Structure 1
Amino acid sequence: MKKNKIAAIDVGTAKICTIMAEVYEDGIPNILGVGVVPSNGLHKGMVSDVKSAQESIQLAVSKAEQAAGYKLESACVGITGKHISSVNNHGVVSITNARKMVQSGDLERVLKIARDIELPQGREILHIIPRSYALDGQSGINSPVGMHANRLDATTNIITAASTSVQNLVKCVRGAGVKVEDVVLEPLASAEAVLTEEEKQDGAVLLDIGGGTTDVVVFQNGSACYAFVIPVSGYQVTRDISIATGISFDMAEQIKIKYGSVMPFNSSLPGTKDIVIGEFSISQNELSKIITTRMEELLRLVMIELSEIDLLNLASLNMVICGGTANIPGLAELAVSTTQLPSRIGYPTRLPGVSDVLSNPMHATGVGLLLWKLMNDEKKSRHANYISRIMGGNN
């Protein structure tokens, strides 16, 4: 059976995760190697020290290579940061062939027009995501190819990034000895790992709360319609604990991971004793209040941003939360009470192979990057097959 090797590198503020896999003809990736290391040289999702970031990536790649048993040559890489922006645009073309039937070339033409936006200097397009199509004014068309019409309209979501941020990320990965096949917005990748097709269709907002940023993407009618990044994350939670208690940042991080919660505790109940580490102690209620305050602020910031999106029916959305901070107990319940939206924690799609370590919400981006790569390879293959059939029919 023919095998194809694919890989993903999640370059996060808190960790670097490299995943190596092989894909058989059935299209399901089998995980062969995973390398996860703490990251250095990144701040709020962006490279701040090329040498340190490169070394961290190299270490994560090396660990994955050791497990997989072969050298990693290329990978799909995730990007985030406050520099990310999202805008919707529209394009229209006339169908000129004799049969008035939409063909693949018409789709390419209308998407080319829909991507023609005026980019500020120093910015580049990351993704052009088709949101919807219309034929002769009839909206709600998902797959126009093969249908008859005089006019084809397309609405797209265009995601852009700062060119220097993209260049610095690519430089670090290349410096670690890996060719970059594609640069993908991280929450788009995470969505592939944790959202169901029904959620994408009905309406969902994905929150990927990482170590340096909270990445948000909104889905409606099956496609991403808006994306943004908020520079509030797990880092701020840890810093709040450190400042409020006077302990070191590293100790605060350990306490957050081991004891953190956004659930109120009744100190008279068993199991709710003070947290004591050496000479330091803090009640579970006090720790919970510190974390809850910051998480409520983050959720409100997300809702403010969502409320400013035109034509978005907030009441129709479900909220799905992933990322390392999603491991804090009670976060989904806090999201429900703060946003009034149905909420759940997003666990990555389980894949065959050595993937037990990847079942944590913190690895949604890594798994999602792998699935994104697989999905886009399939799209290219289908497109090539379609062109081949068309050309064959013209001979």
Structure 2
Amino acid sequence: MSQSKLVVGIDIGSSKVAVTVGQLQEEMLHVIGVGQAANHGVRKGVISDLDETASALTTALDQAEQMSGQAIHQAFFSVNGPHIVASQSKGVIAISRADGVVTEADTERVVGESRAIAMPPNRELLHCRPRYYSVDGQEPVKDPVGMSGVRLEVETLVVGCATHALRNLDKVAYQANVQVSDHIYSPLATIRYGTALPESIRESEKIDLTEIDPAENSRQSKRFVAEIIEARLNEIFVTLEDELKAIDRDSRLPAGVILTGGGSKLEGLIEYTKNTLRLPVSAGQLPLEISGLVDKIDDPSLSTCIGLLLWGIFESSPTIGSTKSLPDLGGLNNLGDKARGFFRQFIP
């Protein structure tokens, strides 16, 4: 099989490195390889030990290559950490055609205008995604192509990150002999020893920290950790509740809340979320057809890697506002249309 027909996602997290390998098969994303390795070279989402992280990545890549029977040369990498900041930007252009009809080229050009924002020398632009368009002041318009007017505007979500974090990620990839196809912001939290309900933990229960980091040799109260987690969750959900109130959606989301990612495995999180937000809550399931190693990828902690595969497919077909050169993924265009529709659900 041609290397160009593979899509590979790599998530470098604080506790592990995960690799997934996929390909197109009968109009479906077919996962053919998975690899995971413990990682102690990342702190708070940022690489702190290049060699340790590169070693973990190499181990995970070896597993994925052996399982898939394919050599991995390039991949989409997730980017995490508190250094990432999102903001809004705007772009405006005159519609180019004489008859005033908006084209795909116009949408790309106006999004490009919104990317022209001043970034500090130690930061760079990671993503620029359209939220909505406006044609001659008519807003919001999700897809203006084919509409008529004189002026086209766009409001975009701009995601920036620390340059050093990307360069360190690139160094790790280089040490592991894999090329970075793109950097994708896709936060993933993995919580193995905690719970959102500290009252359910006995005072006598302890956590052996050597299971998390061999350099640690102490034991910590599991209830104390649960109380810290509960306090942090309270901060997050208070902020979320304030945002829902600001848009008049407090306790008014009929579809409720969907939890995904490694953090969604936190014991008691669904119940905590229901009680706090007063909304229906469920664990997320990917609404796209996936075949292959389903038993190995049916884990919320691998959602970032699966998302990276879908992102790769999404970016392989024409997209609004994408200005990066992306690898040729062969016959993935039809599945790319499905993936594009899936990701558009999450653009605010």
Q: How high is the TM-score relative to the length of structure 2?
A: 0.78
Partner of residue 18, structure 2:
17
- Whose RCO is larger (CA < 8 A, sep 6+)? 2
**3-state secondary structure, aligned to 1:302:** helix
**3-state secondary structure, aligned to 1:83:** coil
Partner of residue 297, structure 1:
231
Q: What one-letter code is carried by the residue in structure 1 that aligns with 2:228? A: R
* Distance of 2:204 and 2:124 partners within structure 1: 41
* Distance of 1:126 and 1:244 partners within structure 2: 46
**3-state secondary structure, aligned to 1:209:** coil
| Sequence identity percentage | 28
Moved more, 289-298 or 81-90: 289-298
* Distance of 2:48 and 2:212 partners within structure 1: 23
Distance change >3 Å, CA 88–CA 380, structure 1 → 2: closer
Contact between 1:88 and 1:157, CA under 8 Å: does it hold in 2? yes
Q: Does 1:325 align with 2:263?
A: yes
Cα deviation, residue 11, structure 1: 0.8
Moved more, 164-173 or 298-307: 298-307
* Distance of 1:158 and 1:374 partners within structure 2: 21
Cα deviation, residue 309, structure 1: 9.0
Cα deviation, residue 351, structure 1: 1.8
Q: In proportion to residue count, which structure has more helix?
A: 1
Q: What one-letter code is carried by the residue in structure 2 that aligns with 1:73? A: H
Distance change >3 Å, CA 252–CA 86, structure 1 → 2: closer
1:210 maps to which of 184, 190, 197: 190
* Distance of 2:164 and 2:245 partners within structure 1: 30
Contact between 2:89 and 2:158, CA under 8 Å: does it hold in 1? yes
Q: What one-letter code is carried by the residue in structure 2 that aligns with 1:375? A: F
Distance change >3 Å, CA 22–CA 13, structure 1 → 2: same
Q: Which runs of 5+ in 1 are unaligned?
A: 188-207, 212-233, 254-279, 386-395
Q: What one-letter code is carried by the residue in structure 2 that aligns with 1:4? A: K
Q: What one-letter code is carried by the residue in structure 2 that aligns with 1:249? A: L
- Map 1:158-307 to 2 at 5 A: 158-187=158-187, 208-211=188-191, 247-250=207-210, 290=224, 292-306=226-240, 307=242
Partner of residue 129, structure 1:
129
Deviations 1:47-86 (A, max 9, x none): 0000110010000000000011121011111010000100
Cα deviation, residue 93, structure 1: 1.4
* Distance of 2:282 and 2:38 partners within structure 1: 27
Deviations 1:126-158 (A, max 9, x none): 110100011111112111112111111100000
**3-state secondary structure, aligned to 2:290:** coil
Cα deviation, residue 170, structure 1: 1.5
Structure with larger Rg: 1
Deviations 1:101-138 (A, max 9, x none): 11122112211221122212211111101000111111
Partner of residue 337, structure 2:
none
**3-state secondary structure, aligned to 1:326:** helix
Q: Which runs of 5+ in 2 are unaligned?
A: 214-218, 323-327, 334-348
Cα deviation, residue 247, structure 1: 4.7
* Distance of 1:74 and 1:252 partners within structure 2: 30
Partner of residue 146, structure 1:
146
Moved more, 76-85 or 32-41: 32-41
Q: How high is the TM-score relative to the length of structure 1?
A: 0.70
Contact between 1:134 and 1:152, CA under 8 Å: does it hold in 2? yes
Moved more, 335-344 or 359-368: 335-344
Contact between 1:36 and 1:60, CA under 8 Å: does it hold in 2? yes
